Chains A and B, each alone.
Chain A
Amino acid sequence: MSVLMEEMNRRALTLGIPLGAHLDVTYRCNERCVHCYLDHDDHGEMTTTEMKDVLDQLADAGTLFLTLSGGEVFMRMDFFEILRYARELSFCIKIKTNAFMIRGEEADLIRDMDVSSVQVSIYSHRPEVHDGITLLPRSLERSIAGIRLLQQRGVKVIIANVLMRENLADYEGVRALARSLGVESTIDPTITPKMDGDRSILDMGIAGKELRDIMHNADLVGNVDDFCATPPPVGDEDLDTVPCSASHTYCYISPYGDVFPCVQFPLPTGNVRKQKFLDIWRYSPQMNDVRSIRPRELPVCSTCSHIGTCTRCPGLAYMQGDMRGPSVQDCEKSYARTGIPSANMKLRFTATNGHPVAASEPASLVQIQLAHAC
């Protein structure tokens, strides 16, 4: 991150400005990915007018970085109207899509609207694997075609690959595909529980040796010695820092107008159909509760040697029952990196009379950015 970007984030944090926002314009999707956490039925999406009103409010609140996602954004017939309006409000926009419905005309419009980047989900370079995950025949072929059209027009494209057992063997192939297309790629072994609380899809995630191998792959993480080093002694700064951007400089808005601290943090804080966005952002008790979290106050994590280097996600912890509790996925990740059990893992080990529990729950949360994205 550039010095200026850090300064901008610091200033937004000080001023309490939601510098980044993620707006899902729909949960409907043409794919049915086996690991997806969403319910794809339409339960009353915001209208075009409501979407524009939300964008107005976000711009007024100071949001610069806007992610438009879904579901599949192109399932909305008015998506380009929303996108055009957002660009007229000078947002820096990232679109997440499967690119299945991007043809020449759509690619032209995305270029003409100066979208900052388009992230496309690709799970394998092999159709039988990719299409087996999306459950949509010819989806790999169509997604690659969409990527080519965007790339040919100079639009920045990032291939995002969610790693799970089903496609674990193919990440090198996806990276090679990205190189051949002239686009960037990222790998993310995060499987998020379903929004209704169903955690069964976590079984698809990679764990144990598979996760360790990913964490120790220099092609993915860079300097393995640094990435997997024993954590340094915990200092006051580690205990008093802001743990993540959720509710501090970032928030998520659903297609139904519900506002959450983060896309991975389903704690309802308000709804823009009933309240002004800024009132929710500034005064929601739930938003302020999340905002108050500091590592020092976390009952288990504050005693953990990983606290200064762990990527503990309060949203995942919330989905496990306590936003101030440990996030098991992140414990597993720290363990996979360093070989040192987290405080939570030691507690659970003790609680089970010495029977290890580390491998009993699939570990998943690590984000490895292979190339710098906006």
Chain B
Amino acid sequence: MTQYVLRRLISIPLLLLGVATVAFFLSHFTQADPLSALVSERQMNNPEVVAAAKQRWGLDRSVPEQYLIYIKNLVTGDLGVSFRTRRPVLADIAERLPATLELVIFAMLFGTVSGIALGVLASRFHDRIPDYLARLLALLGSTVPVFWSGLLLLYLFTVKFGWIPGPGRLDARAVAPPFVTGLLTVDALVAGQFGTFLNALHHLLLPSFVLGWSVTGIISRLVRASMLDALGQDYILAARAKGAGEARTLLRHALPNAMIPTLTIIGYSFAYLITGAVLTEAVFAWPGIGSYAVDSARNLDYPAIIGVSLIGATAFLLTNLITDVAYAFANPRIRLE
């Protein structure tokens, strides 16, 4: 067990080095002129800026030297300067991280709860109409483009019905709570601004539904399969024999056992959420990393887009590690190779 965790921990820096190498290739070799990935077009005529960039990134050196300098800069947290915001990419990302985290947490919450509910429902009515409906709903969630469903739902609920406030994290007239965690719901509660808390929650409702729905299917599919598996076991028969009600059998006896494999998929669905968050944020004008990535890509802001990919890959690797380790702890029967 300890050995497994250690080996996984050691593999992370190696994978990160690989990821950084990919980023190096992206920024240096796909462009005709690597300089264009570091200096914006308008500043190309400014010899001072060009010379400074060449010096900082070692562009006047050989390619292997450039690579070493690139890695060294990354290790010290220097992801370059965004063309668009003219600020260090890392600072931009750090500033926008809480918005994305808050969205992803709420989406994860929605996806997990709805996924488990649909999965249990589908297993209870195996191969009957509720099963088919639950599976169709789940499939729709993973097939529908979030940048389309988000757009139409936003129109429907803001313009047509007026139930949901427009895009963004808070109403324009709402006062943002003082910064503690960066999660507006938490910060508002800490500051005792209950109105702001409700407003932030109201703004979170639609984007986290749209984003969370995209992982509902992944989770419900697995819950259904594990529930069907669990419901066929002897201990369910035993529970029924001693007179446990249907709800109790499902939720107290079968579900906890079905949750072990589900734990992994919830962790991995984080990847889908990051992916989906990029496009969801773009539609809802959500000031997080996703919309930053989209704006950067639209403006061919290479340092920013490559920086976001690097951070995304790091987050992704760490989540998978945590998931695998948690799984190993939750299910000691699994022998890890």
Chain B binds chain A: no
Interface, chain B (partner A; CB < 8 A): none
Interface, chain A (partner B; CB < 8 A): none
